[in-house]
Amino acid sequence: MYWDEASLGYNAYSIATTLRDEHGEFLPIQRFIAFGDYKPPAYIYAAAASIKVLGLSEFSIRFPSALAGTLLVVAAYFLVKELGFGKKTALIAAAVLAISPWSLQMSRAAFEGNLATFFSGLGILLFIKAVNTRKLLLYFLASIFLILSMYTFNSHRVFVPLITIALSLIYFKELIQQKRNFLLFLVSCILFLLPLLPYAMTRESRLRFEETSWTTDLGPIETSNSRIALDGGNILANLVHNRRVVYSLEFLQHYTDNFKVDFLFFTGDINPRLSTGKVGEMYLIELPFLLAGIYYLIKNRSKASAVIFAWLLLAPIPAALARETPHALRFLNVLPVPQIITAIGLVKLLNLKLLKYLVITLYLVSCLLYLKDYYLNYPNRSATEWQYGYKQMVNQVSKIENNYKCVSVTEDAGRPYIYFLLYKQYPPEKYRATRNADRDWFGFWTVHSFDKYYFGSNLDPKQCLRIDYVDNQFVISGI
Answer yes or no: is pLDDT of 285 > 90: yes
SS3 469: strand
pLDDT score for 351: 76
Q: Assess contact for 64 and 36: CB atoms under 8 A.
A: no
CA distances to 89, 126, 134, 143, 456 from 184, in Å: 33, 14, 12, 9, 54
Using the predicted structure, report yes or no on whether residue 243 has a pLDDT greater than 70.
no
Q: Please write the tens of the pLDDT for every residue from 369-418.
A: 999 999 999 999 999 999 999 999 999 999 999 999 999 999 998 899 99
Q: Of 104-118, 229-243, 255-269, 370-384, which range is least confident?
A: 229-243
> Does the pLDDT of residue 213 top 80, yes or no?
no
Could you tell me the residue ranges of all domains in the chain? Answer: 70-213+251-380, 390-477
pLDDT tens sequence across 418-458: 999 999 999 999 999 999 999 987 788 999 999 999 998 76
Query: Beta strand 464-470 with 453-455: parallel, antiparallel or unpaired?
Result: unpaired
Rounded average pLDDT over 239-258:
83
What angle is formed at CA 404 by the lines to CA 398 and CA 407, rounded to 5 degrees?
65
Task: Tell me: pLDDT of 224 over 90.
Answer: no
The residues, ordered by sequence, that sit 6+ positions from 202 with a Cβ below 8 Å of its Cβ are none
Residues 455, 435 contacting (CB under 8 angstroms)? no
| Average pLDDT over the chain, rounded to an integer | 92
Query: What's the rounded Cα separation, in Å, for the pair 147 and 463?
Result: 53
On whether the CB atoms of residues 7 and 35 are closer than 8 A, the answer is yes
419, 429 in Cβ contact below 8 A?
no
pLDDT at 302: 95
Radius of gyration for the alpha carbons in the chain, expressed in angstroms and rounded:
25
pLDDT computed for residue 246 by the predictor: 75
Q: How far is C-alpha 219 from the chain's CA centre?
A: 27
pLDDT at 479: 41
Tell me the percentage of the chain whose pLDDT exceeds 90.
Answer: 80
pLDDT at 231 over 80: no
Closest CA to 280 of 364, 373, 370: 370
More confident residue, 223 or 139: 139
Alpha carbon dihedral 339, 379, 66, 259, in 10-degree steps, equals -30
- The answer to whether 204 and 443 have CB atoms below 8 angstroms apart is yes
Residue 446: its pLDDT value, please? Answer: 93
Q: How far is C-alpha 92 from the chain's CA centre?
A: 25
pLDDT score of 131: 98
Give the distance from CA 292 to its chain's centroid. 29
Confidence of residue 247 (pLDDT cuts 50, 70, 90): confident
pLDDT bracket for residue 23 (50, 70, 90)? very high
Assign 403 to helix, strand or coil.
Answer: helix
Determine the pLDDT at residue 83: 98
